[in-house]
């Protein structure tokens, strides 16, 4: 009768697979406080509900460089029609000449457009386009503002 023998490489592959599964499932089942607040903010955006603003502000004071949380909080405030609060949260994002500055300018532009401050919205969209000239939604939004005001793109 042949004897079945497991090679050490099989154990190594099994160990690496288990570690990979644990690292993928960790945020879902055992989130860090930051991941937990990000999830609650995303749910507020998805379901158009008011985010827990006092909890968000407390988190942002303790983690002032959590730019993802700040951007999510701004979007959550906007989804519950708190546009001024959303603008103030977007303004706290850094001027890094990259992703966060683009998100700030684009987000403020959308909020200004929602509350009929079209000249401000145009200025913010132009700033966003300087950072990402091929962003489709920004181009469409500024084109719409220009069309409604009778100006050419």
Q: How sure is the predictor about 124, in pLDDT bands with cuts at 50, 70 and 90?
A: very high
- pTM for this model (two decimals): 0.76
Comparing 37 with 135, which gets the higher pLDDT?
A: 135
Q: How sure is the predictor about 70, in pLDDT bands with cuts at 50, 70 and 90?
A: very high
Helix/strand/coil (H/E/C) assignment for every residue in the chain: CCCCCCCHHHHHHHHHHHHHHHHHHHHHHCCCHHHHHHHHHHHHHHCCCCCCHHHHHHHHHHCCCCHHHHHHHHHHHHHCCCHHHHHHHHHCCCCCCCHHHHHHHHHHHHHHHHCCCHHHHHHHHHHHHHHCCCCHHHHHHHHHHHHHCCCCC
Q: What is the mean pLDDT of residues 51-66?
A: 81
Residue 96 confidence (pLDDT): 92
């Amino acid at each position: 009768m042949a004897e079945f023998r497991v090679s050490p490489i099989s154990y190594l592959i099994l160990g690496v697979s288990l570690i990979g599964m644990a690292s993928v499932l960790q945020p879902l089942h055992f989130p860090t406080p930051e991941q937990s607040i990000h999830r609650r903010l995303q749910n507020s955006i998805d379901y158009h509900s008011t985010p827990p603003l006092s909890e968000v502000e407390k988190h942002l004071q303790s983690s002032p460089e959590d730019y993802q949380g700040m951007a999510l909080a701004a979007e959550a405030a906007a989804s519950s029609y708190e546009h001024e609060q959303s603008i103030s949260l977007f303004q706290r994002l850094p001027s890094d000449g990259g992703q966060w500055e683009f998100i700030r300018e684009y987000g403020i532009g959308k909020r200004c457009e929602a509350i009929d401050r079209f000249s401000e919205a145009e200025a913010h969209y132009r700033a966003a386009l300087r950072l990402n000239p091929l962003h489709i939604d920004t181009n469409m939004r500024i084109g719409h503002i220009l069309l409604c005001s009778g100006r050419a793109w």
